[in-house]
Amino acid sequence: MSDVTSESSAPSEVTSESSAPSDVTSESSAPSGPVRTEVAGVVTDRSPQRPPAIGTVPAPPARTGLFDLATDRLRRGDLGSMPVAVGLVLIAVVFSSLNGHFLAPENLTNLALQMAATGTIALGIVLVLLLGEIDLSAGSVSGLCAVVMTLLAVRHGLNPAVAVLGALLAGAVIGLVHGVMRTKLSMPSFVVTLAGLIGWEGLMLFLLGNEGTINLPFDRGIALLSDTWMPPAVGWAIVILLAGGHLAATLVTRRLRARAGLSVLGAGWVAVRSGGLAVLLAAAVLVLNSDRGVPLTLVIFGGLVVGLDLVLRRTVFGRRMYAVGGNAEASRRAGINITQVRIMAFMGSSMLAATGGILAASRLAAVNQSSGGSDILLNAIAAAVIGGTSLFGGRGRTYSALLGILVIQSITNGMLLLNVNSSVRFMVTGVVLAVAVAIDSLARRGAPDGAR
């Protein structure tokens, strides 16, 4: 019996082009070079390969070292947090050499308290920047929601928890208004939030009335948020929880990538990364415990950073945010509801601004006409950008807000210790911001077209 069966008899493994789709593609129709694809801001190069023959064992996934990973990120123009880490080391070396009190436990504890409120607002800025949008109303929204909370707690005598929920609800409604104006009316986010900056500040002044200041009780309720310190055992438990959670998440991701045949980090590098994180956290807790302990406001801020990072990196909604920020039109054609994503981002930004306002009011134990004003908005935007979030959308993480606000507050704190005039502090912060944006722009210019 012949090995080649006629078309009229049993089905053949080699089918003509006019019939059913063939598993064997002609060499002339296959791509001749690597195929570059981009999904949610991640660019991969894949060479076309024929499916393995029946009975063959697929090759194990390639192991990727940190050097290979860093090289790939640099090729794509993604510098990550490397410039910020170098900057923080330089700041610590310079200010500690000029003033020995800079790295003292008491000063570092004050630094942690100072950065919690503005850092939380910066988290909301990260959300809108990921979409290539901007929120100029974050400062005014934080002040307005703090006033709403104070009025509910002091004037109306509501439970502090209910007052906080009312402030967060007010922030969500404001974000919904911004999102609808941006999406349904096709107004630029710059104009929408600029109008919000002016309008919400006016509403805040109206609610404050002629008094201009409303005090919170010092010894109970909301004011205790900034005057609560974790016991040493709780601080160490947080270190174990975060370090262990990071290691577990990394191992799970590594296993899933290996199962899918993707490149994975070596087990040694995984241990080094998780161990390095554990050392940094342990050092921070050791310093804070030597003073008053880990402040509750820092725990709240850190919890928001970790929680939002998990949402952005591990959920469908988070990946859609990166996709919309990378290419809105391609996302729309892929079936993503970009209107919903944008509205949710603005709501998240305003709710985080409200949370930052609550933390700021707790630290001051009052709200006044300057709540949410001064340089809070500028520092929040600068923190997000300096930390590594791209102004062009599609790239950044919530840790950008943490690193960025740490840089800004370190500069501010160090100059205050040196009795440097505030004008110099503003100029230095402006230079740091300009350098951060310049690095991002140059990195994107040198990146391949598919990675921009």
Chain segment 73-106, per-residue pLDDT in tens: 556 555 656 778 888 888 889 888 888 888 889 9
Determine the pLDDT at residue 75: 60
Nearest Cα neighbor of 373 from 141, 182, 48, 206 is 141
* CATH code for the domain in which residue 127 is found: 1.10.3470
Q: What is the pTM of this model?
A: 0.80
d(CA 126, CA 105): 30
Q: Is 166 inside any structural domain?
A: yes
Q: Is 340 inside any structural domain?
A: yes
In this prediction, residue 179 has a pLDDT band, given cuts at 50, 70 and 90, of very high
Determine the pLDDT at residue 440: 67
Q: Is 90 inside any structural domain?
A: yes
Beta-carbon contacts of 398 under 8 Å, excluding residues fewer than 6 positions away, are 123, 126, 304, 305, 306, 308, 309, 312
Domain hosting 191: range is 80-231+293-444
Q: Is 24 inside any structural domain?
A: no
Chain segment 15-26, per-residue pLDDT in tens: 334 344 444 344
Q: Is 104 inside any structural domain?
A: yes
Strands 229-230 and 42-46: unpaired
Q: Is 236 inside any structural domain?
A: no
Q: Is 32 inside any structural domain?
A: no
Q: Is 421 inside any structural domain?
A: yes
| Number of domains making up the chain | 1
